[in-house]
Amino acid sequence: MIDARLRPLRTRLLTALFAVVQTVLGIAAARAADHPPFVFTGIPDQDERRLVERFGKVASYLEAKLGVPVRYIPVKNYPAAVTAFTNGQVQLAWFGGFTGVQARRAASGARAIAQGAEDATFKTYLIANIRTGLVSSKEFPKAIAGKTFTFGARTSTSGRLMPEHFIRQAFPGQTPDQVFSRVGYSGDHSRTIQLVQSGAFDVGAVDYTVWDLETKAGKVDASAVSVIWESPTYPDYQWTVRGDVDTVYGAGFTERLTAALVAIEDPAILEPFGRSKFVPVTDAAYDPLIAVAKSTGLLD
């Protein structure tokens, strides 16, 4: 039992301690309020519901780690993601390999800071409707010539840039429009799977991680569509940050952001990406994509 003579002292100490805590919290809140929300986006490469689940968790995680408000905003297509980044509407973006190249060329000082561990050796699956009779092969399936074919988005690395490169290698001197009876662009990988599975297109090019995620989610009908070819590997997705974030959010912010992304261990955050972890990366990792984009006429 506390001596009655000590109670006033105890009360004064508790009051002082409470005041200190309130002051510290007030300073932290004021510092957060000094900065505008840190806003990021990602290319809409698959089902919108999956994107909201994926990026909502990232926003909550980064806000707790960085001490500033963090918001995710969706965009309608790949070019819109690049535009939002180069215009400064977002400070960070989860880009595909090629869209990242486009964004960094357009936004001075922007740089790649992290990629999935799987992104250094990414790959495309060619998938085919079962009714085509096409079967899995280690060699490029030249029997796809004359079929209907859908890419993903027009600036997708795994859904357009690299598969077009491999198609041109397999059919020298011919463009996809010359190889196939009809060429389409689905807009995202989930849609590519749906179009080939339904028979709207005979063959399609799809990000292998999206194929795996959709398969686990029960959205792939193995009796209607299958993988017929796995591409050689190439660099792909990455987090790219604008060059002015340290000016806005304080010195060292880019390094803190990179460290926060690389430190993610929660499977609930990583699994919707189809990634085991994020690792540091630099722009140089994507130089091979620049060469391919130039050779296919997608980049000057």
Q: Give all domains of the chain, ordered by start, each with its CATH number.
A: 35-120+236-295 (3.40.190.10), 123-230 (3.40.190.10)
Torsion of CA 198, 201, 203, 208, to 10 degrees: -60
The reported pTM is: 0.85
Task: State the pLDDT at residue 83.
Answer: 98
What's the token pair of residue 253? 């912010």
pLDDT for res 29: 40
Q: How far apart are CA 26 and CA 283, in angstroms?
A: 39
Sheet with 148-151: strands ordered across: 182-185, 148-151, 203-207, 124-129, 225-230
Six-digit token pair at 287?
Answer: 């130089």
Helix (H, G, I), strand (E, B) or coil at 228: strand
pLDDT in the model for residue 34: 67
pLDDT of residue 3: 56
153-184 pLDDT per residue, tens: 999 999 999 999 999 999 999 999 999 999 99
Element spanning 227, H or E = strand 225-230
Closest CA to 199 of 228, 226, 224, 227: 224
The count of C-alpha atoms lying within 13 angstroms of the C-alpha of 95, restricted to the half-sphere facing its C-beta, is 33
Question: pLDDT tens for residues 140-153?
Answer: 999 999 999 999 99
Would you give per-residue pLDDT tens digits along the chain (300 residues)? 445 554 555 555 445 444 443 433 443 443 445 679 999 999 998 888 889 889 999 999 999 999 999 999 999 999 999 999 999 999 999 999 999 999 999 999 999 999 999 999 999 999 999 999 999 999 999 999 999 999 999 999 999 999 999 999 999 999 999 999 999 999 999 999 999 999 999 999 999 999 999 999 999 999 999 999 999 999 999 999 999 999 999 999 999 999 999 999 999 999 999 999 999 999 999 999 999 999 988 998
Distance separating alpha carbons of residues 30 and 179, to the nearest angstrom: 61
Give the pLDDT score at 208. Answer: 97
Q: What is the pLDDT of residue 31?
A: 45
If one counts every other C-beta atom within 10 angstroms of the C-beta of residue 39, the result is 18
User: What DSSP line would sit under 181-222, residue for residue?
Assistant: SEEEE-SSHHHHHHHHHHTSSSEEEEEHHHHHHHHHTT---T
Q: Which pLDDT does position 152 carry in this prediction?
A: 97
* Amino acid at site 177: D
Structural contact between residues 153 and 187, judged by C-beta atoms closer than 8 angstroms = yes
